[in-house]
Amino acid sequence: MSQMKGLLGKFVTTGAGDSAAEDPFYLDNTARLALLDDYERTGLAWIWATDTEGRLIYVSPHAKEQLGNDPMELFQKQMCEIFETDPDNSDRTDRSLNFKLKARNKISDLPVRFAKLMRVGRKEERWWSLSGNPKFDAGGKFHGYRGSARDVTAEYLRQREDSRLAEYDSLTGLSNRHRMGKRLDSILAAYKTAKRSCALMMLDLDRFKQVNDTMGHQAGDDLLKEAASRVLAVVGDQGEVGRLGGDEFQVILPDMDDRGKLGQLAEKIIKIVSQPYPIDGKRAVIGTSVGMAIAPYDGIESEDLTHSADLALYAAKNGGRGQYRFYAADLKDEEEERAHLLDDLREALAQDQLELHYQPVVRVKDDMVIGFEALMRWEHPERGFVSPGLFIPVAEDSSLINNLGEWALRRACEDAVQWPSSVRVAVNVSAAQFRHNGFLSTVTNALAQSGLDPDRLELELTESVFMGDSETVDELFQSLKKLGVRLALDDFGTGYSSLSYLRSAPFDKIKVDKSFVDTCTHKDQNSAKIIAAIIGLSNALGMETTVEGVEAFDQLELVRSKGAKLVQGWIYSKALPNQKCIEGMASGEFRIKPDGPMKYRSERRSVFRRIGVIHEDHRYDAVMRDLSSTGASLEGLLGVPEGTGLVLDLGAGQLVVCSVLRSDGAMIGVEFETPLVKDGAGGLVTRYRVSPYALAAAGMPLAALPPGNYPLAQSIGQSGSKPLFMEVAVSRA
């Protein structure tokens, strides 16, 4: 230390001229060093100095208490080897310590800590505020730095925690809206230059409000923390997860534009988040919907991309929830649409514009109709037919679901009275309606006013009715059974804890969900085994089983071989108006012979969609008639030989390379080089799209690709060659 002290003594006199002795305030070297010692002993700060190479040549002897080790260990080490700034403090505008030392800039209150190698074995993190000035002599020669430092550990850690709280959600620990916004801004700004993609997911929790209302806010907070943990576990290191507030979450996924992989990730999130939550000895059941947008295709600014993802989320919720959607240019402002739809629905209910249609439940051994399921239908005077999958979720988000449910119960009982006494009617009951205080009175009044035998009314419930106060649910079940009505558990097998409900709830019937029937004939699926297991379980418990969604003979034969006795599906009949049901039962018996395709084909969809077809340097217009993940049928081109290679323009940058498998007049069948993937809405899309950056490189604007232009060949439409195929007009008829 005496060596360091000597060096400092030499440096503190550097530059002092002879005139200094005449200054009345001048102190000789001994006095100046004594003053320095007195200052260092106060503990307010410690002094440091470097040589011209940035090596530490002096540090206060009393700094040992603050540094936690002998200052001699630091002697002759580079300052940038000893100390570092906070790499996580992105808000600081200060340059790094190394930069300042090399540039010989003044250092003012720069927070530093020991560098990584110096921190090995140290138990606590210490922070110092570093200040210093470069030292030059009269000739401008640099002599190193002279400076001071003070311990600011408590102050800095408190400031850093305050900064963390400003950027992170206090409940879940995830990034908050502010931080996610900054992250998205910075990622998109960087990716514009690098021409890279970034996906954005928007999520919110379905039925979360019901948890708060029925189980309390603390239960809601516990559920939010667990849901956040599940999303974080699924996403992993693929992206960053944030909570925007309430039950809204956001996921930023850099370098992802494969809609196949994104769809799989969204499906996994939906599946994991939808598993029941054990909270305070009870089970809460929620779900989630996911909307996705991808930069640069759906927006190149964070505001535009977020708006696109929001629209996709609203579309997912309106589509029936528990689903995902990709943004598409034809999506409307769904929030406004929902408000208009709710107003129209209130008007429809008031004006008696709603109807109930009834889908037959058939006994397979003799094709006898033994009951009907009541399904709501709405023919809007301007919109036309509105799907229940669209308006029921809107009603469930408001108190209108109780009015709709009451109307449906009353109308179904009134209609069923006109049927033979052996025929039952089943009515769907939403979880919100079931939990409504007046539900038991609604059922009682509907039966009393119609005169229907209670045993002929079947209430179809999903497991979401069990969320909340189990004692209240049990009491309501017992009251309904005393009333004499039948109870059916709908969508069985799609939940995660249905078996526990069967132990206590007095169900009379289990309904096998259509999702198992759709894949029951696939060899690589376990659906057939699941159907057999459900039927066996139902028989063991003395319950009936209805298998829903049977559409083809191969499905019918399979479920029959597994022991199904009651079937509901299009192979027998779609839902019928009440008058048709009455006519069918006029003789006292109603038999329906099965009628449908021999094999179920879920992939191929009938469509009428105008697309572009590219061959060499020409673009043609055609109509797509059928579409599957691996191919399509097109109409509108004559003279296309089999084996011809084509590129289909499906719009919005979706290009599909394919080859012609069959050609018959103006009809051709093509096979895709790469299969399409699900869009979450029952449709199909390409995995990848042509980037707007590629369009710009081809001389196109960053907007959607205009009809007739194509980035694959800038010369399309400019060649002097004649087109090889003839276009013919195609009508919808």
CA 479 to chain centre: 40
**Is the pLDDT confidence value at 710 over 70?**
no
| Bigger pLDDT: 298 vs 26 | 298
**Is the pLDDT confidence value at 520 over 50?**
yes
Reported as a pLDDT band with limits 50, 70 and 90, residue 718 is very low
Q: How long is the chain?
A: 733
Reported as a pLDDT band with limits 50, 70 and 90, residue 69 is low
Lowest mean per-residue pLDDT among 114-123, 160-169, 609-618, 724-733: 114-123
Instruction: Give the residues across from 611 on adjacent strands.
Output: 622
Percent of the chain residues past pLDDT 90, beyond the cut: 46
**Is the pLDDT confidence value at 145 over 80?**
yes
Per-residue pLDDT, 696:
54
> Contact 130/149 with Cβ under 8 angstroms?
yes
Per-residue pLDDT, 252:
97
Per-residue pLDDT, 604:
63
**Is the pLDDT confidence value at 311 over 70?**
yes
Average pLDDT rounded to a whole number, residues 443-467: 91
Question: What would the CATH number be for the domain defined by 168-331?
Answer: 3.30.70.270
Lowest mean per-residue pLDDT among 14-18, 30-34, 413-417: 14-18
* DSSP notation for 333-382: -HHHHHHHHHHHHHHHHHTT-EEEEEEEEEETTTTEEEEEEEEEEEEETT
| pLDDT mean across residues, the chain | 84
**Sequence spans of domains, the chain:** 2-160, 168-331, 350-584, 605-727
Per-residue pLDDT reduced to its tens digit, 603-646: 567 778 889 898 887 889 999 988 888 899 999 999 999 999 99
Per-residue pLDDT, 76:
82
Percent of the chain residues past pLDDT 70, beyond the cut: 85
**Is the pLDDT confidence value at 259 over 80?**
yes
Reported as a pLDDT band with limits 50, 70 and 90, residue 526 is confident
Report the alpha-carbon distance of residue 433 to residue 9 in Å, rounded. 86
Reported as a pLDDT band with limits 50, 70 and 90, residue 18 is very low
Per-residue pLDDT, 93:
46
Tokens found for residue 130: 């570093």
φ/ψ region of 327 (left if φ > 0, alpha if ψ in -120 to 50, else beta) reads beta
Per-residue pLDDT, 546:
95
Q: Which fold has domain 350-584?
A: TIM Barrel (3.20.20)
Reported as a pLDDT band with limits 50, 70 and 90, residue 559 is very high
Pick the CATH number of 2-160 from 3.40.50.1220, 1.10.1050.10, 3.30.470.20, 3.30.450.20: 3.30.450.20
pTM for the model stands at 0.60
Q: Which residues contact 90 (CB under 8 A, 6 or more apart)?
A: none
Lowest mean per-residue pLDDT among 286-295, 554-563, 724-733: 724-733
Architecture of domain 605-727: Beta Barrel (2.40)
Select, from the ranges 331-335, 469-473, 695-699, the one with the highest average predicted confidence (pLDDT). Answer: 469-473
**Is the pLDDT confidence value at 594 over 90?**
yes
Report the alpha-carbon distance of residue 88 to residue 109 in Å, rounded. 18
Eight-class DSSP state of 319: T
Per-residue pLDDT reduced to its tens digit, 318-349: 777 788 999 987 776 666 777 888 899 999 99
Per-residue pLDDT reduced to its tens digit, 210-237: 888 778 888 889 999 999 999 999 999 9
Reported as a pLDDT band with limits 50, 70 and 90, residue 712 is very low
> Contact 376/411 with Cβ under 8 angstroms?
no
Per-residue pLDDT, 715:
37
